[in-house]
Amino acid sequence: MASRCGKPAKLESPSLISYWFTTSQHPYQHHHKDYFPPPGKLNVETVDTAWNHPVYTEAQMRRVQLAHRNATTWSDWVALATVRSLRWGMDWITGYRHREPGQRLPARFAMTERKWLARFVFLESIAGVPGMVGGMLRHLHSLRRMKRDNGWIEMLLEEAFNERMHLLTFLKLAEPKWFMRLMVLGAQGVFFNTFFLAYLVSPRTCHRFVGYLEEEAVITYTRAIEEIEAGNLPDWNKNGTAPDIAVQYWKMPAGHRSIRDLLYYIRADEAKHREVNHTLSNLDQAADPNPYQVTYRDPSRPHPSKGLENLKGAGWEKEEVFK
């Protein structure tokens, strides 16, 4: 089939995602619309953030690996089964199928830059919810029980902020249209309320759920990186550059600002969320301080930290952190 200009029309698979999750016609460019123009105040240069992102080295980001924490309790199994069901449902609805190395899939499963962006935008709009719900509920708990929280609230809110930065970054690359917006609206309404109620009942299960969700996020970004590195996303290979919002947030060094580099940063964040939430699930939700906010008496012993040093895919056990 040829397009009107005589060039072969770009074959886009007729899967549901290409109709429902329509994004920009030029997903790798970001000059079509400025979602976040600088505030129009004469004396305002920039709006600064309270949360500075730790600097990741390239070697640290390359070392990030897929990981899975074995489910051992009923709470773990509930969390894992929920995540697996959601992943299966999402893949089914969006017509996504993972291609194993060397495997050929029907054309409708080919992942284009636009399809990856639609997936990222939708998932990141969901990923920003749990940290905010957890932080909010712990904040309210601290107020009404008149007790210290011991450092959990700030970190959970920062996680929500970090996920929102992922979303804002992708929105600089893609312009969601009405159907995507509707999907995000509906998903947020359902997910926020469900997670809110679940966190009231069992915060431990909720953190395990997020840990498993982040395992899936690391898988998703690893696959996208592999697709770029295999040359299957030529627009990103040729034209893609990380938007300024990302360069500033992750402090991306010059010469390392491609879309591939960007996905390495985001994947590393997801690996950190995976570790943090599995660790939090291992702790006493009411009594233990946040091990990422603690000053340790013996800092030479390996301990949880905000950067990528000592990254643990399955999280830290309580006994490893607090003796």
The CA distance from 71 to 177, in Å, is: 39
Cβ contact 184:119 at 8 Å: no
Measured from the Cβ of residue 18, the count of other Cβ atoms closer than 10 Å reads: 18
Find the shortest distance in angstroms from Cβ 165 to Fe ion. Answer: 8
In the complex with Fe ion, which residue's Cβ is closer, 15 or 79? Answer: 79
- Residue 127 is a binding residue for Fe ion (CB under 5 A): yes
Find the shortest distance in angstroms from Cβ 214 to Fe ion. Answer: 5
Q: DSSP of 133-174, one letter per residue?
A: HHHHHHHHHHHHHT----SHHHHHHHHHHHHHHHHHHHHTT-
- Residue 262 is a binding residue for Fe ion (CB under 5 A): no
- Return the range that interacts with Fe ion (CB under 5 A); candidates 16-24, 127-135, 225-233, 238-246: 127-135
In the complex with Fe ion, which residue's Cβ is closer, 15 or 116? Answer: 116
The CA distance from 318 to 223, in Å, is: 32
In the complex with Fe ion, which residue's Cβ is closer, 115 or 273? Answer: 273
Find the shortest distance in angstroms from Cβ 98 to Fe ion. Answer: 19
- Return the range that interacts with Fe ion (CB under 5 A); candidates 12-20, 21-29, 97-105, 212-220: 212-220
Burial 295-321 (b: 16+ CB within 10 A, else e): eeeeeeeebbeeebeebbbbbbeeebb
Q: Give the tokens for residue 214.
A: 């982040």
- Return the range that interacts with Fe ion (CB under 5 A); candidates 35-43, 52-60, 206-214, 309-317: 206-214
- List binders of Fe ion among 24-83 (CB under 5 A): none
Instruction: Please tell me whether 166 is known to bind a ligand.
Output: yes
- Return the range that interacts with Fe ion (CB under 5 A); candidates 5-13, 99-107, 209-217, 229-237: 209-217
Find the shortest distance in angstroms from Cβ 124 to Fe ion. Answer: 5
- Residue 121 is a binding residue for Fe ion (CB under 5 A): no
Instruction: Please tell me whether 214 is known to bind a ligand.
Output: yes
Distances (CA, A) of 149 to 137, 146, 155, 156, 285: 11, 9, 11, 12, 10
Residue type, 2: A
Find the shortest distance in angstroms from Cβ 236 to Fe ion. Answer: 18
Burial 262-286 (b: 16+ CB within 10 A, else e): bbbbbbbbbbbbbbbbbbbbbbeee
The CA distance from 11 to 277, in Å, is: 40
- Residue 272 is a binding residue for Fe ion (CB under 5 A): no
What x/- string results for residues 145 through 174 when contact with Fe ion is judged by CB under 5 A? ------------------x--x--------
Instruction: Please tell me whether 275 is known to bind a ligand.
Output: no
- Residue 273 is a binding residue for Fe ion (CB under 5 A): yes
Instruction: Please tell me whether 319 is known to bind a ligand.
Output: no
Instruction: Please tell me whether 12 is known to bind a ligand.
Output: no
The CA distance from 60 to 63, in Å, is: 5
Find the shortest distance in angstroms from Cβ 103 to Fe ion. Answer: 27
Among 215, 216, 270, 275, binds Fe ion (CB under 5 A): 270
- 280-284: list long-range contacts, CB under 8 Å, 24+ apart: 280/152, 280/207, 280/315, 281/204, 281/205, 281/207, 281/208, 281/211, 281/315, 282/315, 282/316, 282/317, 282/318, 283/318, 283/321, 284/318
Instruction: Please tell me whether 159 is known to bind a ligand.
Output: no
- Return the range that interacts with Fe ion (CB under 5 A); candidates 81-89, 133-141, 182-190, 272-280: 272-280
Q: Contact positions toward Fe ion, by CB under 5 A?
A: 124, 127, 163, 166, 214, 270, 273
- Residues at the binding site for Fe cation are 124, 163, 166, 214, 270, 273
